[in-house]
Structure 1
Amino acid sequence: MIPPYFLLGTCGHVDHGKSALIKALTGFEGDTSVHEKERGITIDLSFSHLKIAERTLGFIDVPGHKSLVSTMVGGSFGFDAGLFVVDAHEGVKEQSLEHALVLSLLKIPCILVLSKADKCQDIEASKEAICAALKPYPLDILGVLACSVYDLKSIQALKNFLSTYPFKKRQMGLDLEQLFRLYVDRVFVLPGRGVAVSGSVWGGMVRKGDSLLVASLNQVVGVKTLHQHGQEVQKAGLHERVALQLQGVKAQDLKVGMLLSSKGYLRGFDRLDIELSTYDKDPLKHNQSVGVQIGTHKLNAKLLILEYPYATLVLDAPVFACYLDTAIISINQRVWGAAKILNPIVDLLKKPVKLPLLKALAQRDLKTAFSLLVRAHKKGFGLLSSMQRFGCTHQHALEIANTLEGVLVDSKDFVLYPKETLKSVLYTLKNIYAKNPQALLSPKSLNSKHSYISHHLANLAFHALAKEGFLKQEGGLWLLAHLELDKLQDKLQDKLYQMLLEGGLTPEAPYNLYDHLDTDRQMGDDALKALCQQKKIYRLCHNVFVAKSALDKAINSMLEILRVSGYLDVQLLKEKLILSRKYAIAYLEYLDKRGYTHNEQGRRTLKNPPQA
């Protein structure tokens, strides 16, 4: 059995002894860079671990300096719990309060560690004062321990607490937690091995050999190896620190803040509908500029208030956020509060519809949210992005959808329709057959004419009209009940031939003709094939079919141009016969295939003129 892994982070004011505490617990010297040693503060995130009592505790030591709060925020998103360190002698300071705000906004439980206890004359009074100062923030404090790095008994007491406390993975209970996500906090090159990134796993599992998507690059990369606290591992899961050695990407293309995820689930959007929250801060204003941070990804945004606390963030770059993700909001580089992301895929909905939707999403009432969205999308509401948008799998989304009244559920294409949409499709079909009694339709051809009509919805409509005696199905096609398929097929050939004749040298593409004739594409292709076999029409290239009389005219005209001008190219043919480039190329290549011309870099000369 793999021992449980919990990720803990040290937080608190600068010089309150966070790094010294980690060194006393793990023996790890966190402040290793020259600048950190010179300044005596943690500048970057540092990482260590402790294997104790059949569990592994990963530690992230975040900086406590005021100017480095965004680094602290970036490290905090993956915490299962925090070691909130306050100097017992100095008490709560400015960054103690800002870190307490972040922990409370991210709902991270914490162990309150009163450090430098050897310098405090009245530890109980200090504890009371510190707890009172933190009272405005609804912190989930798991325990309060006084420590000194010079008192080994106090360090051992903290170790005992960490080894026995029943920590839990910080989860929201969404299917989304099955989806692998990791925001990069470091990019580095391993000598002789290639590029690697590190971060904390937000969800799912990553394994050696996996393929992942670098979301903002839309680039797939391979995972060559995984490393965790200096050891190669086969996999890493929720809220675990991990370094990934990647293949298929260059180090210079990767940046801190980029998201790695499983392919096929997430799309980027530059708008997010949100719910704002904070403690002891003034409300934000409409159209205010704010800083936004999701994991290690930092960007700027304009805030559009809908009805406080509901708002829309207009971001300066796309983000790949998901339902109920938390974004930290800052003003002038100071933490203001948080934005709970309710709608990561923003619809163009009017306020009277959007507000009830956001309120339902805030309550995690997906049934009501689905009902509102279906009513707002008369031509169908898709569930393909259900993992990103609602935090649930397709199957879970369909289970919710099937409980809704007045809704048609297409479980194959994952689309929901209000029942009134079926009436609209019936009306559309009757109009088609009224205007063109020779129409030969299928679900596929109807979808090509009206993309919102899925195959499932089309079949419902066709069968409803068959039940009325209006249509019948024959050979996979739907035709008026009193007509015969073989006679319609003959008429289809005649109509196609006539339309190609009328098109002259530049007839429309076959699929456009099929749409005009309200016929299924396979049926149209069969008719074209028959006309080609009868040599009534000729295929010049993939999408260009012309009547024989038009082709003969084109050949004669081209040969005449060749005789007069001595050469022929695309530009000359466009000018002489008033053709688009597509048709000009098709006719020239036909001449080449017939052996009439010699082609040298696009310039044709007469090679073998046809005999009279």
Structure 2
Amino acid sequence: MKKVVTIGTAGHIDHGKTSLVRKLTGIDTDRLKEEKERGMTIEPGFAHFFLDDYLISIVDVPGHEKFIKNMVAGAHGIDGVLFVIAADEGVMPQTEEHLAVCEMLGIERGIVVLTKIDTVDEEWLELVEEDVKDFLKGTFLEDAPFVKVSSKTGEGFDILKEELKRLAESIRKQKEESFPRLPVDRVFTVKGFGTVVTGTLSGGRLSKGEVVEILPSKVESKIKNLQTAGADVDVAFPGQRTAANLTVPKEKVHRGNILTLPGILNSSRIVDVTFALSKTATTIEKRIKVHFHYLTLMAEAEIVLIDRDVLNPGERCFAQIIFDREIYPVYGDNFVVRTISPGRVIGGGTILHPLEKKRYRKKFAGVFMKKLKALSGGREDAFLEFVKEMEPLKIELLPQLLNISPDNARHFAQKFEKAGEVVVSDGLVYTAETFGGLVEKALKIVEDYHSRYPVAKGINRETLKSLLNVGDELFLRILSSSGLEEERKVIRQKGFVPHLDEKFLNLKEKLDSELRKGGFSAPSLDNLREKLNISSEDFYTLLSFLKKEGYKTAGEFLLSPEVYRKIERRTVDLLKQKGEITVGDFKELFNLSRKHAIPYLELLDAEGVTVRDSSGKRKLNV
């Protein structure tokens, strides 16, 4: 497969960009009737040609100041630029503006093309060339190749193709380290096929038959067919100009929309960014309303300066941008901003926090500065900062927060876990400090429980998990790291043995005294708790301990081991004499009311001493 390189044109209106593309590719990118009539490009046009081992896709953008927003949309996703300046006019207003756009979008490679050389003499050409080189000093095009051409005579095009080949060779193939996004720059219908959208694919591959989500509508569509460079393909790769045939009506998708994997992007109205003010702009103070150009979208927004009150031309700062609508931003993406009136490009920058929830306030300047410095330090620093801020951080947010694929997001988190900096559990990421704090909290809760209820084996598993507010997987890891033991859903310190401390010894003595007073007519549990004057929790904790010591509950009554053994022995003796007994016989034997007799007999049944027949009589269980 040939390596695909996407090149954009840039330059002032009527400087020969479209003629240049037509001469290179044989394709006329002026596709609208209005463009033909005006003789200028309004919408971005697209062409391609093969150059040895490369497929060169060209995006021809409009040069007129009225259509600068279309130029920004077309310039998204390009690998390099043909920066076009006409020899008969030299540097013009849109020349400056297009250069600013290219720099703000992070374009790093290009070729300076001096067109219409057939219209000027050598002396003029030398003057223009010198002027252009002065203009480009200090920019990414300062040392770029300089080619002089005539689209009319063909002069210089062999040299231009050689330089394009060198440019293509210098461009590293886009890694598929992120997820696929196709920002829509054109929507149309093809008879017999239906809706078709086009854009420059970035991040990851798209496949024929795949289901994608259209944002912001969140409508899902199947990709019926894919084309790159005019040919049907099963897979489109990052960096390719891509046409996707969708299953939804044309009305369901618009320019500025994004096609991506379902459920991977979240909307936001606030982003934190690095922002650079163009050298040709005027000073701005504190905040300013702008048109925000991002991918193929334009939205109204307000820029709020964070680390200063005044930003001068050529300076860079941290800023927050607040939008008039929900957008779908991604970490590391570049953007361009224009003033609302007049519509001039004044700067651009890079998105650092795509899912910011807090609006900037000056009193929080220190907090914001610390956060944004970390986010601007690269993916690894950004990851740790996002974990701290959004803890526990959902792994499913990492593709958007770090501009990486879902698989890479998991690997990224696991790498930091192996380094001991985070803990990953139940799809959530915690800092190592937080996990350590949870372990300490678990130990303290269990220690306090043992201290408060020494008669209990330990704390209930679900109670401890609820107090820690963690999922099953993380809870098990906390237990493993803490050295706590679990037995029958009860958590205890290693080696802990239930025992009676002074408090519970006193309570037991009082309880035993009440049981002795009752004799065979045992007091009820409620009556006992009232007599002891203790909380339900303390009472039932003591009761749980006593049951392990041989105390029995019969319905609502509590029997001491001694009383129960007497009841069992006398009942067995009576049954050996009579063979069977009634409830009345049992009542008479112990001088009991029916209220006590029935639960006592049911306890003997449960203990396997007696068995009840169909008539209600008891016999020995032999």
1:397 corresponds to 2:422: no
Structure 1 residues 454 and 37, CA gap change in structure 2 (3 angstroms): same
| Separation in 2, partners of 1:344, 1:190 | 36
| Separation in 2, partners of 1:374, 1:206 | 30
1:243 corresponds to 2:251: no
Q: Report if the CA contact (8 A) 2:414-2:424 is conserved.
A: no
| Separation in 1, partners of 2:417, 2:105 | 34
Structure 1 residues 399 and 459, CA gap change in structure 2 (3 angstroms): closer
Q: Render the CA deviation track for 1:459-484: whole Å, top value 9, x for unaligned.
A: 244456654xxxx4234554686579
Structure 1 residues 20 and 395, CA gap change in structure 2 (3 angstroms): same
| Separation in 1, partners of 2:31, 2:11 | 19
Alignment equivalent of 1:310, drawn from 289, 313, 318: 318
Match of residue 113 from structure 1: 113
Structure 1 residues 423 and 228, CA gap change in structure 2 (3 angstroms): same
Q: How does 1:281-360 map to 2 (within 5 A)?
A: 281-308=281-308, 309-332=317-340, 333-346=343-356, 348=358, 350-360=364-374
1:67 Cα offset (Å): 0.6
Q: How does 1:441-480 map to 2 (within 5 A)?
A: 441-442=460-461, 451=469, 453-463=470-480, 467=484, 472-475=485-488, 478=491
Match of residue 102 from structure 2: 103
| Separation in 1, partners of 2:258, 2:307 | 31
1:431 Cα offset (Å): 6.4
| Separation in 1, partners of 2:77, 2:481 | 53
Structure 1 residues 16 and 375, CA gap change in structure 2 (3 angstroms): closer
How many aligned positions are there? 474
Q: Report if the CA contact (8 A) 2:4-2:57 is conserved.
A: yes
Match of residue 161 from structure 2: 159
Q: What secondary structure is seen at the aligned counterpart in 1 of 2:201?
A: strand
Q: Report if the CA contact (8 A) 2:270-2:357 is conserved.
A: no
Q: How does 1:479-490 map to 2 (within 5 A)?
A: none
Match of residue 195 from structure 1: 195
Q: What secondary structure is seen at the aligned counterpart in 2 of 1:316?
A: strand
1:440 Cα offset (Å): 6.5
Structure 1 residues 195 and 442, CA gap change in structure 2 (3 angstroms): farther
Alignment equivalent of 1:149, drawn from 148, 151, 171: 151
Q: Render the CA deviation track for 1:491-542: whole Å, top value 9, x for unaligned.
A: xxxxxxx9xxxxxxxxxxxxxxxxxx99xxxxxxxxxxxxxxxxxxxxxxxx
Q: Report if the CA contact (8 A) 1:410-1:456 is conserved.
A: no
1:52 corresponds to 2:66: no
Q: What secondary structure is seen at the aligned counterpart in 2 of 1:213?
A: strand
1:457 Cα offset (Å): 3.7
| Separation in 2, partners of 1:181, 1:47 | 19
Structure 1 residues 214 and 427, CA gap change in structure 2 (3 angstroms): farther
Q: What secondary structure is seen at the aligned counterpart in 2 of 1:402?
A: helix
1:455 Cα offset (Å): 3.1
1:227 Cα offset (Å): 1.5
Match of residue 387 from structure 1: 399
**Bigger radius of gyration among the two:** 2
Q: Report if the CA contact (8 A) 1:111-1:141 is conserved.
A: no
Counterpart residue identity of residue 162, structure 2: N
Q: Report if the CA contact (8 A) 2:426-2:474 is conserved.
A: no
Q: TM-score, normalised by structure 2?
A: 0.70
Q: Report if the CA contact (8 A) 1:198-1:243 is conserved.
A: yes
1:136 Cα offset (Å): 5.2
1:390 Cα offset (Å): 2.1
Structure 1 residues 343 and 433, CA gap change in structure 2 (3 angstroms): farther
Q: Report if the CA contact (8 A) 1:223-1:245 is conserved.
A: yes
1:219 Cα offset (Å): 2.8
Q: Render the CA deviation track for 1:86-145: whole Å, top value 9, x for unaligned.
A: 001210100011001111222322111100001121222221111212335443653111
Q: Which is worse superposed, 119-128 or 421-430? A: 421-430
| Separation in 2, partners of 1:371, 1:45 | 40
Match of residue 11 from structure 2: 12
Q: What secondary structure is seen at the aligned counterpart in 1 of 2:285?
A: coil
Q: Which is worse superposed, 473-482 or 89-98? A: 473-482
| Separation in 2, partners of 1:80, 1:408 | 36
| Separation in 2, partners of 1:82, 1:206 | 25
1:27 Cα offset (Å): 1.4
| Separation in 2, partners of 1:290, 1:441 | 58
| Separation in 2, partners of 1:433, 1:255 | 64
Structure 1 residues 137 and 466, CA gap change in structure 2 (3 angstroms): closer
1:366 corresponds to 2:380: yes
| Separation in 1, partners of 2:325, 2:288 | 17
Counterpart residue identity of residue 199, structure 1: G
Q: How does 1:190-229 map to 2 (within 5 A)?
A: 190-229=190-229
Q: Report if the CA contact (8 A) 1:413-1:454 is conserved.
A: no
| Separation in 2, partners of 1:178, 1:167 | 23
Structure 1 residues 233 and 195, CA gap change in structure 2 (3 angstroms): same
| Separation in 1, partners of 2:333, 2:464 | 39
Q: How does 1:421-440 map to 2 (within 5 A)?
A: 421-427=438-444
Match of residue 183 from structure 1: 183
Q: What secondary structure is seen at the aligned counterpart in 1 of 2:2?
A: coil
Q: Report if the CA contact (8 A) 2:65-2:94 is conserved.
A: yes
Q: What secondary structure is seen at the aligned counterpart in 2 of 1:28?
A: coil
| Separation in 2, partners of 1:463, 1:398 | 21
| Separation in 1, partners of 2:174, 2:228 | 25
Q: Report if the CA contact (8 A) 1:323-1:341 is conserved.
A: yes
Which segments of 5 or more consecutive residues in structure 1 lack a partner in the other structure? 485-497, 499-516, 519-612
Q: Which is worse superposed, 274-283 or 137-146? A: 137-146
| Separation in 2, partners of 1:360, 1:474 | 45
Q: Render the CA deviation track for 1:267-324: whole Å, top value 9, x for unaligned.
A: 1111101011133133433232121111111111122222141111111122221111
| Separation in 2, partners of 1:163, 1:24 | 16
Indicate the RMSD between aligned Cα atoms, in angstroms: 3.1
Q: What secondary structure is seen at the aligned counterpart in 2 of 1:423?
A: helix
1:423 Cα offset (Å): 2.7
1:27 corresponds to 2:7: no
Counterpart residue identity of residue 55, structure 2: T
Which segments of 5 or more consecutive residues in structure 2 lack a partner in the other structure? 309-316, 500-524, 526-539, 542-622
